[in-house]
Amino acid sequence: MSALTWAVAAVVTDDTGRVLLCRQGRGERRYALPGGRLRPAENPARAALRDIRAETGWDIDLVDLIGVYHLTGPPGEATAGRVGPLPDVLVHVFRARAAGVRPAADPPPGCRLSWHSPDVLPEAVTPLTRAAVTDATAGRSGVLRDVPCVPDTVDAPPPSATLPAHEGQPPADQGGRSGTGQPPEQRGEAADSPLRRTR
């Protein structure tokens, strides 16, 4: 049995109904919902507010809980750079609205943010992102769903790669870093963490 990781994410919308997505790192990584891991004994709602502000710079208003999504990797299958199966990830996904028309803070570099119509998501999105946005658009709450975790097939940048600095892009495309604003290695999170690849 694999380890269980508790995480949070949110389908954050603006006044026009667009959804905020993050594309981590360089290259053609998949788009994902903003979020991160829970700290020990942390309330999921509080974690969502903290993680999303740290990753994106946006303050959000939580509306409700869309559902709890259980992500599992293929049993017994190892991925490059890992030993053993991917850990299970249990994600509390909230429905949220952006508070204001601009981020409250400049996000740190590392995550390319962009707004998308929920009806026309990019092709390269994580399975969790597609499932949660579909449930949110349909007005569902209290969903309990298993989501197969499919790792990125695109090579990740080496750990020593320098991420591009934030250059004051407009709100529709800003950079940020997940979790606490620190690189994943400083947060004890592997650069190829399934949480970063499946949100």
pLDDT of residue 173: 38
Amino acid code (one letter) for 48: A
75-111: per-residue pLDDT in tens? 555 554 545 556 789 999 999 999 988 888 887 777 8
- Higher-confidence residue of 2 and 41: namely 41
18-73: per-residue pLDDT in tens? 999 998 766 668 999 999 999 999 999 999 999 999 999 999 999 999 999 999 87
Q: What is the CA radius of gyration of the chain?
A: 15
**Are the beta carbons of 98 and 34 closer than 8 angstroms?**
no
Averaged pLDDT for residues 7-28: 90
168-181: per-residue pLDDT in tens? 333 333 333 333 34
What is the pTM (predicted TM-score) of this model? 0.72
- Higher-confidence residue of 158 and 19: namely 19
- Higher-confidence residue of 186 and 8: namely 8
pLDDT of residue 100: 86
